[in-house]
Structure 1
Amino acid sequence: MKPARRRRNGAVIAAIGMLVLAAAGTLLHVYRHPTLDAGTAPTLDIIDAQRAVVGQYHTPSAEEIASLGNADAVMLGRRLLNETARLLPDNVGNDLNCNSCHMAEGKRPFGNHYLNTGGGSYPRYMTRPGREIGLVERINGCLQRSMNGTPLARDAPQMRAMLEYMAWLSRTVPDGARVAAAGEGPIDSSLRPDRTRGHALYAAQCAACHGDNGEGRRDGSGDIAFPPLWGERSFNIGAGMARLYKAASFVKHNMPPAASRAPPLGQQVMPDQDAVDIADYFIHQPRPDFTGKGKDWPHDPKPKDARY
Structure 2
Amino acid sequence: MQQDFRREVVCCVCGEVAEDGNFGILCCNEHYLCGDCGVGFIESMLSKPETQVPAKCCFCKTEIDMKQVERYLSYEQRVIYEKYYTLNKLDSKLHKVVHCQYCEYFEIWRIDNYSTFFYCQNNECRKGICLVCDQILQVSPSGIMTRSRTAHLDREILVHSECFKYMQMKEDWIDALIEGSQRVCPKCNNGGLKNGACNKMTCDKCNILWCYVCGQDEDHADKKDLNGNFDQHFIDWENNSKRCPKMLKFLAANDQRWDKDDEEANRDFFYKICLYKSIRGFFKKYTQEQFKALCEVAPMAKHHGYNLQEAMTMDLEVVKR
Is this a same-fold pair by TM over 0.5? no
Greater RCO structure (CA 8 Å; 6+ sep):
1
Tell which structure's C-alpha radius of gyration is larger. Answer: 2
Taking structure 2 as the reference length, what is the TM-score of the superposition?
A: 0.25
Taking structure 1 as the reference length, what is the TM-score of the superposition?
A: 0.26
